[in-house]
Structure 1
Amino acid sequence: MVDYLKTTKKSVLIGGILFLLLILFTVAASFQLLEHTNFSKQIKFSISRLAIWGCLFLLYIYSIKMERQPFLLWTEEKYSLIFFLKSVAKLMFSLFLIMLVVYFIFKIADSNIDSKKMNEIMKLFKNNIFLILFTSITAGVTEELIFRGYLIPRLEILLKNTPAAILISSILFGLIHYSYGTLIQIIGPVFIGLLFAVYYQKYKNIKILIMCHFLWDLLVLLNKTSQLQ
């Protein structure tokens, strides 16, 4: 196995992380411009999800052409189907407990947990299973590959500090959810990011995280849309 710690130039890795931040900022800014177009809300939202796939594609090209190394620096560990299913179940249960604790902390603190932006998005999902599936798949695949698969190994190489790499990647993951307008929409993903980052660092299997992320978003969206009048 190639020791990327020795073969990768730090300047190239720094460039990759800065490039990631640049394209994420650019996409976030484009979302604001998209709001002022005459497209329907569903089309606007679909375009915004496609833009996230664009971020992943550009980052992949950077890793191949500029870094000249695989997108995923950590070789995927192979596990049995039973281990895969048990891991997904354990992660889902852990997510439920974490988000439950976060929810009650915000409730006790009387902090705003109602996101107007999120409520508007939920209306788009009403009776639109295709958009729900597309959104869940997009989040599961792109966010795990970018924030866990790409970012964590490179931060570890640069910082030589695993906890710092996990924390920074999780904070960045939380911050990309800022547009939903409430603090809980940032803090919740930070803790989700911490759980997934620790798992990825230990087990080196991004597929399990992608499946878990997809299922979590799918269940959340189905639950929230079912509550709409």
Structure 2
Amino acid sequence: MSLYGKYALGILFTFVLLIAVMLYAFPLVYFITGVKEFKSANLFYTRIALWTVLALVFLYNFLMEKDAFLLWKEKKYPALFYIRAVIFLYLICAFGGAFLNLLIQIFAQENISRKLLQLALLFRNNYWLIISFCLTAGVVEELLMRGYIQPRIEKIYNSSYSGVFISAALFGILHSTYGTIGQVVVPFFIGTVFALFYKKYLNIKILIISHCIYDFVSMMIMNFTDIKHLSAF
């Protein structure tokens, strides 16, 4: 198998594993633990499943591709650049996501995601769970979606745009398990912003930090928001 064939298989392998975790992690945890409730311990176990996916992709890369996990060499920047970049990415994603959500509410008038509502209740004042959730999403999703998948798609199709938009589309699809249009459109938008940034500045660490902060701020707002007002949020 050619190296590009291995890249394609690795992308498929990664996406299938992530979809499997999103769809079946909770049923599997319920089966193993015997606790068929949406509890913090069960949610924590699903985060372990995501870290396991990252480990398996690293193993595939090491054994099959025998290439660098991050195909694009990391660029170093001064500390001030990190601060400015994180603030910029947060503001773009926060305001852009809020605008998209507003449009969806106006034209689609969809209800709040049932899964998001369950998470909001589970995260209520559970700060360790919030931190573990944000760290897992930031590290695992950025290393896999931007660090691993994006440059390999670009290599296969020899197109920067394909790497940006296909990786963003896959990122949006992964969030479709939340069951709403907004939970696909907004992640697609954020995935596009992050992918464009990664293509231009070649620094995955900034994306990891930005992703963690974006999720953390969002969850803290949810934590201090009355449940009945979450649809507006």
Give TM-score, length-normalised by structure 1: 0.92
Decide whether the 8 Å contact of 1:113 with 1:184 is kept in 2: no
Gaps of 5+ in 2: 228-233
Match of 1:5 in 2: none
- Segments ≥4 residues shifted beyond 6 Å: none
Decide whether the 8 Å contact of 1:106 with 1:113 is kept in 2: no
Match of 1:156 in 2: 154
1:19 to 13, 26, 44: 13
Match of 2:170 in 1: 172
Gaps of 5+ in 1: 1-7
Aligned-partner SS, 2:65 = coil
- Deviation (angstroms), 1:111: 2.6
Q: Which amino acid aligns with 1:17?
A: I
Matched, 1:10 2:4: yes
Q: Which amino acid aligns with 1:20?
A: T
Provide the rounded CA distance (Å) in 2 between the counterparts of 1:26 and 1:192.
Answer: 22
Decide whether the 8 Å contact of 1:140 with 1:213 is kept in 2: yes
1:34 to 25, 28, 39: 28
Decide whether the 8 Å contact of 1:123 with 1:228 is kept in 2: no
- Deviation (angstroms), 1:36: 4.6
- Deviation (angstroms), 1:32: 4.9
Q: Which amino acid aligns with 1:107?
A: Q
* Equivalences for residues 83-102 of structure 1 within 5 A: 83-102=81-100
Q: Which amino acid aligns with 1:138?
A: T
Decide whether the 8 Å contact of 1:49 with 1:135 is kept in 2: yes
Matched, 1:188 2:186: yes
Provide the rounded CA distance (Å) in 1 between the counterparts of 2:131 and 2:151.
Answer: 29
CA RMSD of aligned residues (A): 1.5
Give TM-score, length-normalised by structure 2: 0.91
1:57 to 55, 58, 65: 55
Matched, 1:126 2:124: yes
